[in-house]
Structure 1
């Protein structure tokens, strides 16, 4: 694959990641507004968040399969357009039912991005090397979107209504779909349907090798399968804590005296740190190993969440970039391990399975811990999340054994 095609593939995937992640995490800025407007509980707040991320998680495997029939590019462009339409509908919502429908449609559109864009990058860079570094760049772009879109809307909400802001983001999604149509290299449109055929020279060779050494191949496949399960469990817990923390952070800041603009700026600070965390930790994982990197980032995240609960508002604002670096950095290392643990010819499915598990956990987390927040308090819910995160440490050790 030529250098030009590789770069266009990475640019297209990164652009999709930036827009989709920005639209997804914009919901955190809007949650306190919706709570005030509709007078809803923390558990219902969690349900609003889950209506987007839950649908996104549920349809990722289906999106991966449909891409084989209809083409990766077509699915990715259509999903981006649908997410934009969903925000246009949300901008007209006058009550919870329409808002829930809009968020579910947004999640359906967003379900195409992670598995298809990740495999687009992996396929483009596999032959020439640098897959982990390219995936780190792709993940970095996602956090750029998380930084710019919620931060811009947080400031925009000072002068216009949330309905107007959401409508503008819907137009952004539609524009991004047009950009992807122009940007994705033509071969990538059919790559998804031909990337992993039932029989190719490479898979035929692999089959012959497995036939000659069945015991060794079976042991290797078993070790990789166990490693992938441990990786999925690690990502699930990491996502549970990350999504739970992000859901409660605006309310923690509000309790400490922050306004709407302040919450938007705070999320931008967090995501700036997260963007550099994904970029840095992706490269760091390739140098010192997945386990050491995960242990460092998850331990730092747990301690930082505890600190955020007890610090005053000014202290939390200073802490947020460092917290974001650790909070989001882990995922970049975990993504990079997926291709290494995927079975032959099953990479796209492995990405879809990983994202389904992690995003699904992230969808359930706000609902579960929202109930904890209703029964106890937001600080107690956050401290519970910090404790749960430490369970990733032994799991990361198990993943490392399979790499």
Structure 2
């Protein structure tokens, strides 16, 4: 794990007290949530477009996989540079420009006439989206300080809203207009959001030198604590993505119909959205360690329950399983600023999100090979064991936290 290197002083909301500051914090939160919803929606919008592009350009499944990986790959790899860029140009300008670039990438995709053109367009859009996670979450964290857990859970939840709304919107639009026009419409939405961020995201100012000195005093401890938190985030994501890989096959073995399969997955995702919203606030009250123990322990138990229960009882526990699967993430995101000197918040979020995104891409592959070796049920049990493996890491994290 590379330590988080020092860089230019960060931005912080001016005037720590008073109504104007409260209004600024609220505006930062809702504009950050809007950016999160848009960018996460842009990311998952590709799934609705893949069948259209396959028919339009005669693409094979390998080419379609390349299209999907290009967006996520550029977004993941450029998050660290995005954090450094923000230290030079500021959060507001960087986030607005990234949003504009993401929108223009989709506009170019609407103009493309080949696989190469689509690849370039999606890489451009993914590059723009690389700014959102580190900068928006960093802005919310700095605006709310020690009280950021609850707002960060709202921010985390907003991404799920975008993942639901934008793919549904593009699916509807391509039924009433050509897909290229639909992409231009969605691109225009991104341009509007970029303009709103540029005009209305409150300005922030640099921290005082004394704050920087104070933050450097606990630098070594925060680095080691952040490393443990990073590993927990990677494993938590691996559990979630591994289970979602095998869940359809488990339910199919129980005799579920294809229409009910969609309902079952929807139950998991609805529970997951609720978990993101609720567990950030729960973490602020129960403590990080207690919440992680509760969510990961319940995740392991519920995974095993889904394996052994008949179809109907298994369907009943799916929403609760979704809550536990996704709930830990809000607690972890809310802990990032606690373990990071304030001048490195954006870089810490960039590194954390890079690890989470990489885990979401690689863990299904690892569990897939394991499934080929020991079978679907065995590999699913392995996801439950992975959830339990987080327990000792959570215990190691405890000394680095202000309160647990």
Q: Deviations over 1:138-165 (max 9, x none)?
A: 2222222223334445666777776665
**Residue 324 in structure 1 maps to residue 322 in structure 2:** yes
Instruction: Give the alignment partner of residue 161 of structure 2, picking from 144, 158, 165.
Output: 144
Between 53-62 and 293-302, report the one with greater CA deviation: 293-302
Change in 2 beyond 3 A, CA 1:133/1:181: same
Instruction: Give the alignment partner of residue 210 of structure 2, picking from 197, 201, 206.
Output: 201
Distance (whole Å) between structure 2 residues aligned to residue 161 and residue 96 of structure 1: 18
Distance (whole Å) between structure 1 residues aligned to residue 284 and residue 372 of structure 2: 42
Aligned residues: 378
Distance (whole Å) between structure 2 residues aligned to residue 161 and residue 295 of structure 1: 49
The offset of 1:172, in angstroms, is 2.9
Cα root mean square deviation, aligned = 3.9
Instruction: Give the alignment partner of residue 89 of structure 2, picking from 67, 70, 83.
Output: 70
Instruction: Give the alignment partner of residue 125 of structure 1, picking from 144, 149, 169.
Output: 144
Q: Residue in 1 aligned with 2:36?
A: 17
- With normalisation by structure 1, the TM-score equals 0.77
**Residue 81 in structure 1 maps to residue 85 in structure 2:** no
Instruction: Give the alignment partner of residue 134 of structure 1, picking from 146, 151, 156.
Output: 151
- Structure 2 stretches of 5 or more lacking a match? 1-14, 16-20
Q: Residue in 2 aligned with 1:389?
A: 387
Distance (whole Å) between structure 2 residues aligned to residue 124 and residue 287 of structure 1: 20
Instruction: Give the alignment partner of residue 335 of structure 1, picking from 327, 333, 341.
Output: 333
Indicate conservation of the 8 Å contact 1:144/1:271, yes or no.
Answer: no
**Residue 299 in structure 1 maps to residue 308 in structure 2:** no
Q: Residue in 2 aligned with 1:214?
A: none
Q: Residue in 2 aligned with 1:40?
A: 61
Change in 2 beyond 3 A, CA 1:177/1:250: farther
Indicate conservation of the 8 Å contact 2:248/2:261, yes or no.
Answer: no
Q: Residue in 1 aligned with 2:343?
A: 345
Change in 2 beyond 3 A, CA 1:390/1:157: farther
The offset of 1:226, in angstroms, is 1.7
Q: Residue in 1 aligned with 2:132?
A: 113
Distance (whole Å) between structure 1 residues aligned to residue 196 and residue 113 of structure 2: 31
Change in 2 beyond 3 A, CA 1:31/1:307: farther
Change in 2 beyond 3 A, CA 1:222/1:21: same
Matches within 5 A, 1:3-402: 3-28=22-47, 38-40=59-61, 48-91=67-110, 96-126=115-145, 130-153=147-170, 166=183, 168-185=185-202, 187-188=203-204, 191=205, 194-195=206-207, 200-204=209-213, 206=214, 220-245=218-243, 257-258=257-258, 263=262, 269-305=267-303, 319-343=317-341, 345-369=343-367, 384-402=382-400
Q: Residue in 2 aligned with 1:213?
A: none
- Secondary structure at the residue paired with 1:345? helix
Distance (whole Å) between structure 1 residues aligned to residue 395 and residue 168 of structure 2: 36
- Structure 1 stretches of 5 or more lacking a match? 211-216
Indicate conservation of the 8 Å contact 2:142/2:342, yes or no.
Answer: no
- Secondary structure at the residue paired with 1:12? helix
Distance (whole Å) between structure 2 residues aligned to residue 26 and residue 391 of structure 1: 34
Choose between structure 1 and 2 for higher RCO, CA contacts under 8 A separated by at least 6 residues: 1
Distance (whole Å) between structure 2 residues aligned to residue 244 and residue 175 of structure 1: 37
Q: Deviations over 1:47-81 (max 9, x none)?
A: 55433222222111111111111221111111112
Distance (whole Å) between structure 2 residues aligned to residue 161 and residue 121 of structure 1: 38
Change in 2 beyond 3 A, CA 1:245/1:109: farther
